[in-house]
Amino acid sequence: MKFILTILFFNASFFLSDAQDINTLLKEGDRLEHVPDEKASFKKFKEVLKLSATNSYALNKCSELCSRIGQREISNTKLRNDYYSAARIYAETSLKVDPNNSEANCVMAIALGRSSMSKSGKEKILNAREIKKYVDAAITNDPSNFKAWHVLGRWQYEISNLNGLERSLVKLLYGGLPPATIKQSIYAFEKARSLRPEFLLNYFEMAKAYKDNNNKAKAIAYLQFMITLPIQTEDDPGIKDKSRALIKEWQ
């Protein structure tokens, strides 16, 4: 009996230690992301997955960070594409763990968007329907997911700006896509702003939508306000620089 109790106590201590290690790593991953040091944060979340391969939070974070880090690999196309592929794999794994997880659906939409929405022609629209499916699922499962609202705004903006050739490809491949307008895009961006007013990238994308909707004054005002906000991600200094350039161009 004493032997059995010893074994049970050992196993309980082992699992407790594991859980403590995971929580410590998750907190450190979050801290490093906010430094911001996204590559170091990514490594911490990967360490979590070594201990718990199905940890949804770590899987979602790894996917999101791969999308962000990959976007900055401008000069190394192969490395950028490797990060984008990893972003999709992490998101796919998270969705297998919980298909209704809002963040898992959101990071999948982000991963697909990073690798396709900024391109032109067939590459740009190939994943358009899939992106919409995942972002809709993210919002349905959590209407307060500010990143999902931002992705929806970006999707609507890009689809509303398809050129003639791209629209023909959409019709050929899909028979059409759900309607998307600049006003719908602005609504989604504003929803994201109401949920997370310190999200810098949202202001940058929203300003472009307002400018295209013939409201340049509001676009500039949003950019000017955004520049005063604190840095939160490694992308933010670049976003501020691009915003200053847009203000100068639009004034």
d(CA 93, CA 100): 13
Angle at 137 between CA 152 and CA 198, to 5 degrees: 45
Instruction: Please check whether residue 150 is in contact with residue 192, taking contact to mean a CB–CB distance below 8 angstroms.
Output: yes
pTM of the model: 0.87
Residue 159 and residue 176: Cα distance in Å, rounded?
A: 11
Q: Does a structural domain hold residue 175?
A: yes
Roughly what angle, to the nearest 10 degrees, separates helices 146-160 and 200-212? 30
Q: Which of 194, 220, 238 is at the close of a domain?
A: 194
Domain limits for position 41 = 17-98
Query: What is the CATH number for 60?
Result: 1.25.40
* Domain termination residue (choose one: 194, 213, 239): 194
Assigned domain for 69 exists: yes
Is the domain of 201 the same as that of 179? no
Please check whether residues 241 and 179 belong to one and the same domain.
no
Q: Give the ranges where the chain is alpha helix by DSSP (H).
A: 2-34, 38-51, 56-71, 77-97, 102-116, 121-126, 128-141, 146-160, 164-174, 182-195, 200-212, 216-227, 236-250
Question: Cα separation of 42 and 30, whole Å?
Answer: 9
171 and 224, same domain (yes or no) = no
Please write the tens of the pLDDT for every residue from 102-124: 999 999 999 998 877 556 566 66
- Tens digits of residue pLDDT in 168-210: 677 666 666 667 889 999 999 999 999 999 999 999 999 999 9
The answer to whether residue 7 is domain-embedded is no
- Do the domain assignments include residue 1? no
Q: Are residues 94 and 32 in the same domain?
A: yes
Q: Of 188, 187, 63, 176, whose CA–CA distance to 125 is shortest?
A: 176
pLDDT band at 13 (very low <50, low <70, confident <90, very high): very low
Looking at the fold, whether 204 and 169 belong to one and the same domain comes out as: no
Residue 103 is assigned to a structural domain of this protein: no
Identify whether residues 242 and 203 lie together within a single domain: yes
CB-hemisphere CA count at 13 Å for 204?
A: 19
Residues 182 and 129 in one domain: yes
Q: Tens digits of per-residue pLDDT, 130-162?
A: 899 999 999 999 999 999 999 999 999 988 887
**Residue 67 domain flag:** yes
Those residues whose C-beta lies under 8 Å from the C-beta of residue 98, and which sit 6 or more positions away, are 56, 104
Q: Examine the domain organization and report whether 182 and 203 are in the same domain.
A: no
Residue 159: per-residue pLDDT: 86
Mean pLDDT for the stretch of residues 37-59:
96
User: What's the number of domains the chain is made of?
Assistant: 3
Last residue of a domain, one of 43, 72, 98: 98
